[in-house]
């Protein structure tokens, strides 16, 4: 199951369940905005609408980069009142982003890290994987996945924003502030806002919509999209067992204890297991989510003597949706406002987190004067590729899990049968292609041999202090990071620094065995970082603040200067 934005998700609840004390959510105080008393219309450079995963990630990153923003949310809490724990699987890319934001340790302490998954058809194991054995996951300080209830992530983000506000109050968190009207022109955007204390108006240079797929901004800006609602039905059971199953991701394509339909089984925070049961397409949502019916289902799976506490139960159906453009004038769509995917492979909320990380550094670079406004257009170019790809991949999984009669059903049956005895067929089993950082096949601000995210490799800093790439990116503080491989002398480094100073680029020397000649130096003894940059034959690699590789080259010359200008849209 992926993470999802707070206000809406690929999972559309089709029946209400009562909240339980186990999922009691914090409530944040409403403070009447000063505009209500003064009657003044205040202007803000950045206004974020929606305090879900993507909205809070964006606000937290802007605060870290010293950019002021207003964050509006129509609710007064995280999560969804009366709803489930929602998304639970957080990818390595998201965990690396959270490491740069300063909340990874909290997530690791509360959640459950995992890397092994097993898939069954009946009693036969037909597919398994260990993500650490794959190169795209193996170099990072963070595990491939951590399972944790979504509202914990949102709580940690709110806490982190409040901590950063104590240092410098940049993020104005406004709870119970609902946007009820919007317009924009070439000068600014105007928002009308409803609160318990009355209505008011504000203007903004940039508006980021993170409110979910039912957002009114789609209509307000005339956004168009491709949308498809699935007819598959599922039921979530969040369960705490007295005697727990193995702490692995187990899935069944055909579970004998669920009428040969699919089942997902994950452990998450607080020793709670998320179990997803695929239901018949015509299943009654109210009936399948009744506690006595859920207990019957659990008894079939774990035995009649199973002892457990049902923490939460809820049915869901899903849809896929993708906007044709993620930027409309002054409005940027992130998270579930940009796309909604079927809940397979953890490609929902995680891609919303990546949306926020992509947009945050670009907004900061433009507002600081380090980049031209044209840089913001690359958000749509890059993240639309990611959205389209994730919709495509998850829709294929959905069709595999409920294959229609004909060729697709024949293919599914054949792959399951062959996978039981033949290794070559196991890779064809599709219960969800696990999410990884999207590669940008084309981008105006990444060279053709770049466009991939660099994993958070471990390093040795001066005096042999251990560290990671995430710390280098934090040190760069929103600037491009130029990694120079090899033991260059002071004069050569000085030349590099003079070349990069105009563009506001931070330079770090990376050596393999010998100490560097300058203060800004790290050691990469196993060449893990160099391999992560795909720079075995390069002398330098240029990284963006979101850890994406912008360019790499074999010589310090005009190519490097052009790469820095391209990455910031300075031409």
Q: Are 62 and 199 found together in one domain?
A: yes
Q: What CATH number is associated with residue 279?
A: 3.30.70.2450
Domain count, the chain: 3
Of 316, 344, 377, the one marking the end of a domain is: 316
Q: Which of 347, 379, 396 marks a domain boundary? A: 396
**Partners of 113 in the β-ladder:** 146
Structural domain includes residue 541: yes
The first and second tokens of residue 530, run together, are 């160099």
Give yes or no: residues 312 and 342 share one domain. no
First-to-final CA distance of the chain: 42
> How much is the pLDDT for 463?
65
Residue 11 domain-assigned (yes or no) = no
Same domain, 383 and 467: no
Output the pLDDT for position 493: 73
Based on the fold, state whether residues 339 and 388 are members of the same structural domain: yes
Task: Give yes or no for a contact between 47 and 173, defined as CB atoms under 8 angstroms apart.
Answer: no
Is 379 in the same domain as 485? Answer: no
505 and 559 both lie in a single domain:
yes
Quote the pLDDT of residue 427: 87
Token reading at 373: 């406004």
- Three-state helix/strand/coil letters over 155-221: HHHHHHHHHHHHHCCCEEEEECCEEEEEEECCCCEEEEEEECCEEEEEEEEEEEECCCCCCCHHHHH
- Whether residues 524 and 497 share a domain: the answer is yes
Q: What is the rounded CA–CA span in Å between residue 314 and residue 15? A: 7
Residue 107 and residue 198 in one domain: yes
Domain harbouring 54, CATH code: 3.50.50.60
Q: Are residues 193 and 154 in the same domain?
A: yes
Q: Cα-Cα-Cα-Cα dihedral of 361, 364, 370, 373, to 10°?
A: 90
**Residue 209 falls within a domain, yes or no?**
yes
Q: Are residues 309 and 333 in the same domain?
A: no
| Cα gap 217→214, rounded to integer Å | 9
∠ CA 473-474-476, nearest 5°, is 65
Q: Residue 254 falls within a domain, yes or no?
A: yes
Domain boundary among 267, 282, 316: 316
The domain in which residue 154 lies consists of 42-115+139-227+319-396
Q: Residue 538 domain-assigned?
A: yes
In a domain, 204, yes or no: yes
Tens digit of pLDDT at every position of the chain (571 positions)? 333 344 333 333 333 333 344 567 889 999 999 999 999 999 999 999 999 999 999 999 999 999 999 999 999 999 876 555 678 899 999 999 999 999 999 999 999 998 888 999 988 999 888 888 887 888 899 999 999 999 999 999 999 999 999 999 999 999 999 999 999 999 999 999 999 999 999 999 999 999 988 999 999 999 999 988 877 788 989 999 987 777 778 999 999 999 999 999 989 998 999 999 999 888 898 899 899 999 999 999 999 999 999 988 888 877 889 999 999 999 999 999 999 887 787 888 899 999 999 999 999 999 999 999 999 999 999 999 999 999 988 888 888 888 888 998 899 999 999 998 898 988 898 888 888 889 999 999 999 888 999 999 999 987 668 899 999 999 999 999 999 998 777 777 777 777 777 667 888 889 887 665 566 788 998 999 999 999 888 889 999 999 999 999 987 777 888 898 899 998 7
DSSP string, 90-135: EEHHHHHHHHHHT-HHHHHHHSEEE-EEEEEETTEEEEEEEGGGSH
- Domain match, 372 and 501 both: no
Is position 411 within any domain? no
Query: Residue 548: which CATH number?
Result: 3.40.30.120
- Count other C-beta atoms under 10 Å from residue 108's C-beta: 17
Same domain (yes/no): 369, 491: no
DSSP code of 412? Answer: H
Residue 535 inside a domain? The answer is yes
Amino acid 225: pLDDT: 95
Q: What is the pTM of this model?
A: 0.92
């Amino acid at each position: 199951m992926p993470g999802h934005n707070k206000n809406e998700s690929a999972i559309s609840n089709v029946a209400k369940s009562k909240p339980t004390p186990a999922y009691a959510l914090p409530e944040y105080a409403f403070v009447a905005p000063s505009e209500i008393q003064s009657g003044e219309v205040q202007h803000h450079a950045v206004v974020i609408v929606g305090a879900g995963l993507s909205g809070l990630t964006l606000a937290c990153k802007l605060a870290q980069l010293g950019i002021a923003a207003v964050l509006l949310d129509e609710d007064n809490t995280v999560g969804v009142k009366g709803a489930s724990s929602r998304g639970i699987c957080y990818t390595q890319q998201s965990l690396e982003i959270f490491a740069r934001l300063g909340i990874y340790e909290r997530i690791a302490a509360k959640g459950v890290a995992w890397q092994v998954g097993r898939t069954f058809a009946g009693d036969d194991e037909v597919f398994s994987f260990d993500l650490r054995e794959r190169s795209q996951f193996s170099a990072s300080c963070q595990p491939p996945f951590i399972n944790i209830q979504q509202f914990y992530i949102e709580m940690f983000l709110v806490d982190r924003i409040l901590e950063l506000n104590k240092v410098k109050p940049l993020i104005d968190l406004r709870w119970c502030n609902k946007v009820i009207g919007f317009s924009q022109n070439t000068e600014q955007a105007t928002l009308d806002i409803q609160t318990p204390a009355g209505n008011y108006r504000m203007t903004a240079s940039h508006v980021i919509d993170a409110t979910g797929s039912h957002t009114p901004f789609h209509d307000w800006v005339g956004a168009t999209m491709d949308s498809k609602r699935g007819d598959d039905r599922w039921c979530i059971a969040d369960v705490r067992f007295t005697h727990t199953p193995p702490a692995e991701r187990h899935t069944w394509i055909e579970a004998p204890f669920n009428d040969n339909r699919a089942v997902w089984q994950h452990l998450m925070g607080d020793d709670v297991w998320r179990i997803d049961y695929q239901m018949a397409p015509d299943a009654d949502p109210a009936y399948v989510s009744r506690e006595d019916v859920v207990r019957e289902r659990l008894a079939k799976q774990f035995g009649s003597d199973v002892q457990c506490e049902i923490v939460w139960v809820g049915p869901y159906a899903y849809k896929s949706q993708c906007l044709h453009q993620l930027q409309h004038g002054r409005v940027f769509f992130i998270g579930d406002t940009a796309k909604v995917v079927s809940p397979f492979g953890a490609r929902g909320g995680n891609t919303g987190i990546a949306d926020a990380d992509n947009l945050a550094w670009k907004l900061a670079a433009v507002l600081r004067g380090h980049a031209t406004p044209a840089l913001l257009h690359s958000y749509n170019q890059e993240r639309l590729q990611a959205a389209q790809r994730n919709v495509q991949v998850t829709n294929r999984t959905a069709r595999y899990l409920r294959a229609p009669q004909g060729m697709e059903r024949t293919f599914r049956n054949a792959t399951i049968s062959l996978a039981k005895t033949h290794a070559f067929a196991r890779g064809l089993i599709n219960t969800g292609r696990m999410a990884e950082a999207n590669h940008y096949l084309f981008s105006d601000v990444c060279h053709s041999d770049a466009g991939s995210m660099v994993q958070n490799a471990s390093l040795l800093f001066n005096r042999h202090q251990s560290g990671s790439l995430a710390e280098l990116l934090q040190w760069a503080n929103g600037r491009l990071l130029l990694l120079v491989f090899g033991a260059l002398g002071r004069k050569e480094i000085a030349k590099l620094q003079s070349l990069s100073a105009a563009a506001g680029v931070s330079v770090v020397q990376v050596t393999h065995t010998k100490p560097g000649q300058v203060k800004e130096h790290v050691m990469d003894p196993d060449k893990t970082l160099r391999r992560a940059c795909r720079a075995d034959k390069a002398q330098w690699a240029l990284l963006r603040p979101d850890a994406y590789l912008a360019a790499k080259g074999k010589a310090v010359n005009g190519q490097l200067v052009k790469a820095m200008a391209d990455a910031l849209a300075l031409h």
